A and B are shown apart, each in its own frame.
Chain A
Amino acid sequence: MSPATAYAVTGLALFALALFGFLVRGHLVRRIVALNVMGSGVFLVFLAMAARGEGTTDPVPQALVITGIVVAVATTALALVLLVRLHREVGRLALEPSRQPD
């Protein structure tokens, strides 16, 4: 297996694994982390694109990943601020009361 393929397969596996976690877990911190792991999966797939082929590495996917990380950080920051506010004012750490962690 070439490095590029390894990266792509790992990226897809992370995406699928985190999607599973996002859907079955109730705790909002876990769900926010799951979204971040999914994002990392996408970034790995992009990096695999950069590494394939002969000769020099394709710089475009790397530029995309850097921008993608910035977007992910902004989204995560907003999610965490909202989570703190939700916990403080509603006392919830899950969307549904039935999935509220102990």
Chain B
Amino acid sequence: MDAQAQLLAPALLLPATAVFPALLGVVALVLGRRAVPLVPLLAVTVIGLAVAHLTAIVWQHSEVTVALGGWQAPLGIALRLDGLATAFLLMTGTVASGIAIYALVEYRHPAGGESRAAYGFWPLMMFLWAGLNTIFLSRDLFNLYVALEITSLSGIAMVGLNGEAAALVAQMRYLLFATLGSLFYLMGVAFLYAETGALDLAVIAGRLQVGPSASTAVVLTTLGLLLKTAIWPLHFWLPPAHARAPTPVSALLSGLVVKGSLYLLIRLWFELYAPVLDQVAWMVPGALGGVAVLWGSALALRQERLKLMLAYSTTAQLGYMLFAFPLAVAGPVEATQAWTGMVVLILAHGIAKAAMFLAAGAIVAVLGSDERVALAGATRLVPVPLFALALAGLSMMGLPPSGGFLGKWLMLRAAIGAGQWWLVAILVVGGLMAAAYLFRFLVPAFLPASEGKPDRPAATGLMGGAAIALALISILLGFVASPLNRLIAPAMPAGLGAG
């Protein structure tokens, strides 16, 4: 390939990856029932190919920056692809493809007619996908705000698609607090703009200096993003919204949407705020994450409904990802381990949690309920989704070999190396608690089925298939440690780890 063609590819591919799903969303709006299965299949193949190509580019060049329309920052908006963005694009592509395949069953239009839920689902899912891809690629703080809003508004709109009363209340709560979080973030951006006169991440990083403006910006943006990511004690809106939403939406929200705001928090802290923060500040997210793991796991242990347990488990698992913050300033070796561990944990959780929600949906489709007591006989009646639930559960508990194990292992080594024994303790206790809350639901599945249930295994087709595929990928992540490391480790911003 000559130099011209090489330059052209990313200049076209980066914006296309961000915008193409939104175009498909508009197509789905216009075509209605005729858009299915055209739009989801196009999305999965085209975005899949684009992300695969981008991964190959990052593999060779480690990072690529594109100035939109040829306008350089600070005037123009820059898109940048690095290992971190690629990892998130890959996770989003994988999870969204699995969910799209599952939703081909759940959100198919009835023969000869059009269902309201199916009409709403496909455009919203495409807009959500576009919003996430934009978050991962954009380097402009205001552009990021708009992308965050596109992502959350699409996600929120989908919570009430099936129109259940409990979902409507959860949806309203989600909308109010997600918007509140965005406003805090935007006020923080105003302070950053006041201080540096720029919105581009790289330009701000060069100009930001210690002072009251910078501190206020750190507090405001961090509060807003913690609220949107549902980190304890700002997690209260998440469990009802994620549990009451229709299953494919639960999987999108828990697997992907919370990772969008978390991604931005990581970008801001590791790239922008590192020079203006002291050691104590880096402890705060880690401490919140520690409480989140224990608190979320304790509540997951008390749930009687599978989807609620999975939602509380999300608030717990998000906590581990923040452990990398205190470890980032512990030393160069620990910082790299914690950074890679954090990203692997995010990927593994995104894929495994989506698999578990899809499995739960397939189980509900057959058994009619996701109550713990109703799971009796599930091993015989719904073997495929139950196997997916257990398999993804292995990754969630952090058992080898799995993506969850790899991420936790890296994090554990960093915590031991840094002498942060409280993090080590929470990593171990949290894994045991995850095993406990998962087994509470898996054990009843082995009991004999109650009277009146069919006695033959039910075929769950694409629903069970999508769940199994994602569960397998969450396990397989554990076998590709060295490529993952080569992709993610170099993306860690320089200068961290010195303390």
Contacts and interface: CB of A to CB of B under 8 A. Distances in A.
A6 interface: no
B171 interface: yes
A42 B156 contact: no
Given A15-B187, A82-B160, A75 B149 contact: yes
Q: Which of B186, B190, B194 has the most CB of A within 10 A?
A: B190
A32 B173 CA distance: 11
A86 interface: yes
Interface string B140-171: 00100110010001001100100101001101
B175 A68 contact: no
B175 to A, nearest CB: 6
Interface string A36-51: 0011011001100100
B203 interface: no
A83 B175 CA distance: 11
Contact of A90 (B169, B175, B191, B199): B169
A78 B150 CA distance: 12
Nearest to A92: B169
A64 B96 CA distance: 31
B153 A78 contact: yes
B186 A68 contact: yes
Nearest to B174: A82
B2 to A, nearest CB: 38
Contacts of B146: 67, 71
A14 to B, nearest CB: 11
- Interface size bracket, B side: 20 to 34
- Majority DSSP secondary structure for residues of B touching A: helix
Contacts of B194: 45, 49
Given A67-B142, A71-B146, A31 B169 contact: no
B180 interface: yes
Contacts of A64: 142
Contacts of B157: 78
B193 interface: yes
B179 interface: yes
A49 B190 contact: yes
- Majority DSSP secondary structure for residues of A touching B: helix
A84 to B, nearest CB: 11
B179 A75 contact: yes
Contacts of A89: 163, 165, 168
Contacts of A68: 145, 186
Given A49-B194, A61-B193, A86-B172, A74 B183 contact: no
A85 interface: yes
A31 B481 CA distance: 47
Contacts of A60: 193, 199
A42 B221 CA distance: 13
Nearest to B168: A86
B64 to A, nearest CB: 26
Nearest to A76: B179
A39 B180 CA distance: 9
B173 A35 contact: no
Q: Which of B153, B163, B191 has the most CB of A within 10 A?
A: B153
A60 B187 CA distance: 16
B176 interface: yes
B175 A82 contact: yes
Interface of A: 15, 19, 22, 28, 31-32, 35, 38-39, 41-42, 45-46, 49, 58, 60-61, 64, 67-68, 71, 74-75, 78-79, 82-83, 85-86, 89-90, 92, 95
19 contacts: A19-B180, A22-B180, A28-B172, A32-B176, A39-B186, A42-B186, A45-B187, A45-B194, A46-B190, A64-B142, A68-B145, A71-B149, A75-B153, A75-B175, A78-B153, A82-B171, A82-B172, A86-B169, A90-B169
